[in-house]
């Protein structure tokens, strides 16, 4: 039987292996407990933020003018300010615009000026990188000149 002496106490190999297993289990449990503490801390922080937001929601509703005790009217900007105050995105608004675009087209091959003008008006396209509707109302060719050959 293998034995080892540690500080005047004799241990068998199986006792040392059993002790090592218990130490490993302890380390594993300690790591799990540390992870649990971190998770609990994050959860408490999130609950605190949520509670603050709920208080702001209640205060906001209390601040509204409840003239007939049943209904109130709010402006979109006021609601957006409130949403932003509690950490949410502001409400969006749809916009429209008339846009003037000036373009220069070079090296267009055509048999004559009329054909060149038609090629331009029939083939102008606009891409818009956002989710919106866009259409071309009119294409006007201002100045059509023959290039030097």
Residue 15 has pLDDT above 90, yes or no: no
List, for residues 29-42, the tens digit of each pLDDT value.
888 998 999 999 99
**Confidence band, pLDDT 50/70/90 cuts, at residue 57:** confident
Whether residue 68 is predicted with pLDDT greater than 80 in this model: the reply is no
> Inter-axis angle of helices 13-63 and 76-85, to 10 degrees?
160
- pLDDT(7) > 80: yes
Q: Is the alpha carbon torsion for 45, 51, 55, 56 positive or negative? A: positive
Section 45-50 average pLDDT: 89
Provide mean pLDDT across the span 119-148.
87
pTM for the predicted model, two decimal places: 0.43
Q: What is the C-alpha to C-alpha distance for residues 4 and 19, in angstroms, rounded to an integer?
A: 13
Cβ atoms of residues 76 and 93 within 8 Å: yes
Helix (H), strand (E) counts: the chain: 3, 2
Block residue for tokens 């002496």: 5
Q: What's the confidence (pLDDT) of residue 117?
A: 92
């Amino acid at each position: 039987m293998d034995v080892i002496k540690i500080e005047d106490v004799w241990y068998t190999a199986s006792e040392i292996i059993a002790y090592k297993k218990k130490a490993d289990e302890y380390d594993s449990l300690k790591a799990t407990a540390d992870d649990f503490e971190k998770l609990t801390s994050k959860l408490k922080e999130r609950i605190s933020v949520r509670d603050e937001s709920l208080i702001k929601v209640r205060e906001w509703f209390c601040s509204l003018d409840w003239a007939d005790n049943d209904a109130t009217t709010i402006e979109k900007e006021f609601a957006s300010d409130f949403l932003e105050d509690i950490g949410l995105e502001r409400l969006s608004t749809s916009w429209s615009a008339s846009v003037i675009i000036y373009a220069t087209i070079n090296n267009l091959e055509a048999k004559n000026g009329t054909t060149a003008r038609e090629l331009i008006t029939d083939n102008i396209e606009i891409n818009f990188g956002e989710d919106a509707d866009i259409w071309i109302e009119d294409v006007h060719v201002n100045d059509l000149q023959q290039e030097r050959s």
